Amino acid sequence: MSEAAHVAEDAGLLRSPRSRVRRALAPPAPRPRPTPHRTVTLLGGFGLAVDGRAVAIPAAFQRAISFLALRGRCGRSRLAGTLWPDTTEMRAMANLRTAIWRVNQVAPGIVVTDHDVIVLADDIDVDVARLVRAAHDVMDGTSTIPQEPTLQYVEGDLLPDWSDEWLVVDRERLRQLRLHLLETLAGRLAAEGLFGMALEAALAALRVDPLRESAHRAVIRIHLAEGNLAEAVHAYRQCRALLAREFGVAPSEETARLVSALPRALTAAS
């Protein structure tokens, strides 16, 4: 082959049989590995899974992941002090470094560090975050009758076996969101004529907080909408008796007004 041909071959302008054979025998370029699907479960108990496979990690490291999943980005010092409040700052920071290293060994890349800031990777699927978004969609009207995951949300307690003080605020936030979601569901389901499901949502709110008067009103309204006047009066009497026993007060005017226009024969004993 002439010098010009060699130059042309090197430039890709001319392919010799030998070069074509080399290219045909060369192994294909490796395909990039797909990013594993990583999920963090906090409702009903802690869980960490990678591509559907459960990953076991020590309790202290579970707490680090849970805090980041609930609170988002956090400074190293604050996170270490929250998780290990009874140790020195130096020991707490050492514990945190160990936790981050161990977690990323079993679930690579799940915890991301940026100087003094720590955060979970953006693609981590956290059940609380997902279901809170679904709850907001229901309450602000952007979602239709909710699907099963949203209904499952109202039954899950946040890390119920943990007694950590930092969880108190998060539990109360989710409890309030749960109550408002259930009452919203009750009203929307009743408006759709799905009275059985509406009543189930309203009674679920009462299971969460038996003293919540707005949940009692939801039950009364559903009975009235369904035409069950005696059931509505019975629900009102239960509410009145509970408030009198626990607080020594009568139901609010808004609650009493729901049954005030009913026939005297129904409300005479109330």
Rounded to 5 degrees, φ, ψ at 39 are: -125, 145
Q: Is residue 129 part of a domain?
A: no
- Same domain? For 152 and 233 the reply is yes
In this structure, the answer to whether residues 22 and 62 fall within a common structural domain is no
Structure tokens at 27: 């192994």
Q: Label residues 75-101 b or e (16+ Cβ within 10 Å = b).
A: ebeebbebbbeeeeeeebbebbeebbe
Interval 170-220: pLDDT, tens: 999 999 998 999 999 999 999 999 999 999 999 999 999 999 999 999 999
Long-range contacts of 94-98 (CB under 8 A, 24+ apart): 95/60, 96/64
Is 19's pLDDT higher than 80? no
One domain for residues 184 and 216: yes
Residue-wise pLDDT tens digits, 246-266: 999 999 999 999 999 887 656
pLDDT of residue 210: 96
Residue 50 bridge partners (DSSP): 38, 53
Tell me the C-alpha to C-alpha distance, in Å, between residue 238 and each of 25, 186, 250, 254, 255.
82, 19, 11, 16, 12
Same domain, 23 and 105: no
Across the range 148-156, mean pLDDT stands at 50
In this predicted structure, the answer to whether residue 74 has a pLDDT above a threshold of 80 is: yes
- The whole domain housing 27 covers 1-31
Residue 47 or residue 33, greater confidence: 47
Q: Are residues 86 and 176 in the same domain?
A: no
CATH number of the domain bearing residue 235: 1.25.40.10
25 and 46 fall within a common domain: no
pLDDT at 150 over 50: no
CA dist 70 and 41 (Å) reads: 11
Rounded CA gap, 25 and 161, in Å?
A: 59
Are residue 175 and residue 257 in the same domain, yes or no?
Answer: yes
Position with higher pLDDT, 20 vs 109: 109
Which pLDDT score, from 0 to 100, does residue 8 have?
A: 46
Neighbours of 28 (CB within 10 A): 5
Q: What is the pTM for the complete model shown? A: 0.76
